[in-house]
Chain A
């Protein structure tokens, strides 16, 4: 079974650093982009960016560029989302998701997200 399992909920203070993880199993982890998606309390989904575990290539949404850092360790099939200095406005649920398509030659716009991790709730107090 293809699965993404995320690390547990975190409670931090403003200014602290944090790294959360997303571990894949059931497929060749290095071959698929992993997307990060934010969901603030009571709000919709926002795409943060993506990382390719095979070579750690990253693409950030302009809204999140410079605010977070993606990294990967393919030896343990895990990608990470990191903050160097958290803000109260970072309080949200964060999801990772695998980017898939029906053929290896699909253009990016023909892909979809499947599966999703269970989410990591990050709570930042001021």
Chain B
């Protein structure tokens, strides 16, 4: 059971907008930065969003992050077939004194 809760799957058609949620608690998402990682099939994860809503260079602005209270969200607009991947949220947990991840959301582009 992951400390952060994500829906196991999401799907949408090309061009649509999809949102992936990440629910935590007052010891992690509620007080610390949330990062999002994208894991394309058969590859290592890579950072997609850091500190709630910042994109590393090279990540398209179709990807955006937000946070409210103990929940965070990743939004992908103008969905493309190459966005089909697993997405993970992560945050530092002050109570566990370690990094915690969500269980991952598998995004299918129909």
Contact = CB atoms under 8 A, between A and B. Distances in A.
Contacts of A110: 32-33, 51
Contact of A114 (B56, B94, B98): B56
A47 B101 contact: yes
A109 B94 contact: yes
Interface of B: 2, 31-33, 35, 37, 43-47, 50-51, 56, 88, 90-92, 94, 96-104
Interface in A75-126: 95, 97, 102, 108-119
Contacts of A45: 37, 45, 88, 90, 101, 104
B37 A108 contact: no
Given A117-B44, A118-B44, A44 B51 contact: no
A116 B104 contact: no
Contacts of B31: 109
B46 A109 contact: no
Given A35-B99, A111-B92, 10 more contacts: A45-B88, A45-B101, A45-B104, A62-B98, A110-B32, A113-B45, A114-B47, A115-B46, A116-B46, A117-B44
Contacts of A14: none
B44 A119 contact: yes
Contacts of A118: 43-44
A46 interface: yes
A48 to B, nearest CB: 9
A119 B44 CA distance: 6
Nearest to B50: A112
B88 A44 contact: yes
Nearest to B44: A116
A83 B31 CA distance: 35
